[in-house]
Structure 1
């Protein structure tokens, strides 16, 4: 009978002192809700709560531009509508006297459509402001430190002492 050889290896990992990430970061589950509430009350306030001050001009620029187009389209719609109503009453002394009735109807529809689209954009940017504050507050609480890493490593083989290449994904608790 032949001899049977069995080899066993043990790899000792030095112990590391790792803080509990939940205790050290003080995660508050209500923070996203607070940020969303603040943005709902006053657009941009949730971004200020999250300390993302550079987003506040973007919020006001988007909502303000949409609101500007809503107001101007509504004013022009009302002008053309008033002129059309006066035409139906038999008057032709308005500032659009050079347009026929069909052109007044077309202009009304055009500005009404622009007004309605602008109102949708105002509502959409307002909702996006709230969603951004909520998501940003939730992402701030993620643990991004050295205990979570992805690094290439080289391990020597214990028997042949040749280098083995591998990737290590480690998360220390």
Structure 2
């Protein structure tokens, strides 16, 4: 049995060697492609700061969305909304104090501020008026900061932060007394 298997494999092996190669066969040329190891600078589309500022002026937070800083949008609306909320609340308080004061001047003592004197009602009106003004200024400040932030953020997007910027510490020894001198120098290397 073993000899039969040996003869079969021997016969198959010789018959494989007896084949002639195809003369019409075309050899494929294999080209080696070497990857470029030099890193390509990424092209970026610079954002237009004026467009970001315009968007934020039209709709607060839209400039931040244009700059893809979505996390700033809730902060802007919280600041503007808080100012508007306190503006409305202080306006209601001011009207309540003013109406009670007018009723006291007319001779009625049946207002909601029974234990408060007339002078205190005048002070409460002034305080509510001042707080109302501060609230509207706060809302306007958040609105303006929203526009400024969108503009500055779009400008900073264009700022070059590459590996070519570096900081090299250097210690200089004083030749007279052989002590280290501390200082700051600015050196520009042009390539």
Note whether the superposition's TM-score is higher than 0.5: yes
**1:109 CA drift (Å):** 0.7
**1:151 CA drift (Å):** 5.1
Q: Would the alpha carbon gap of residues 115 and 121 (structure 1) be closer, same or farther in structure 2, given more than 3 Å must change?
A: same
**1:57 CA drift (Å):** 1.2
* SS across alignment from 2:165: strand
Q: Which residue of 1 aligns with 2:56?
A: 39
Structure 1 residue runs of 4+, over 4 Å off?
Answer: 167-172
Q: How many residues align?
A: 139
* SS across alignment from 1:149: coil
Q: 2:165 aligns with which of 146, 149, 156?
A: 149
**1:99 CA drift (Å):** 1.6
Q: Which residue of 2 aligns with 1:99?
A: 116
**1:171 CA drift (Å):** 5.7
**Greater Cα radius of gyration, structure 1 or 2:** 2
* d(CA) in 1 for partners of 2:102, 2:90: 18
* d(CA) in 1 for partners of 2:61, 2:138: 17
Q: Counterparts of 1:47-86 in structure 2 under 5 Å?
A: 47-86=64-103
**1:36 CA drift (Å):** 0.8
Q: Which has the higher strand share?
A: 1
* d(CA) in 1 for partners of 2:190, 2:103: 75
Supply the RMSD in Å over aligned alpha carbons.
2.7
Q: 2:135 aligns with which of 118, 129, 133?
A: 118
| TM-score, with structure 2 as normaliser | 0.64
Q: Which residue of 2 aligns with 1:164?
A: none
Q: Would the alpha carbon gap of residues 26 and 50 (structure 1) be closer, same or farther in structure 2, given more than 3 Å must change?
A: closer
Q: Is the 8 A contact 1:151 1:169 kept in 2?
A: no
Q: Is the 8 A contact 1:46 1:130 kept in 2?
A: yes
**1:170 CA drift (Å):** 4.3
| TM-score, with structure 1 as normaliser | 0.70
Structure 1: tracts of 5 or more residues without a match: 1-16, 154-166
**1:25 CA drift (Å):** 3.6
Q: Which residue of 2 aligns with 1:134?
A: 151
| CA shift digits 1:99-151 (9 cap, x unpaired) | 221111011011111111111111111101110011001111122223x3215
| CA shift digits 1:40-72 (9 cap, x unpaired) | 111111111100011111111111112211111
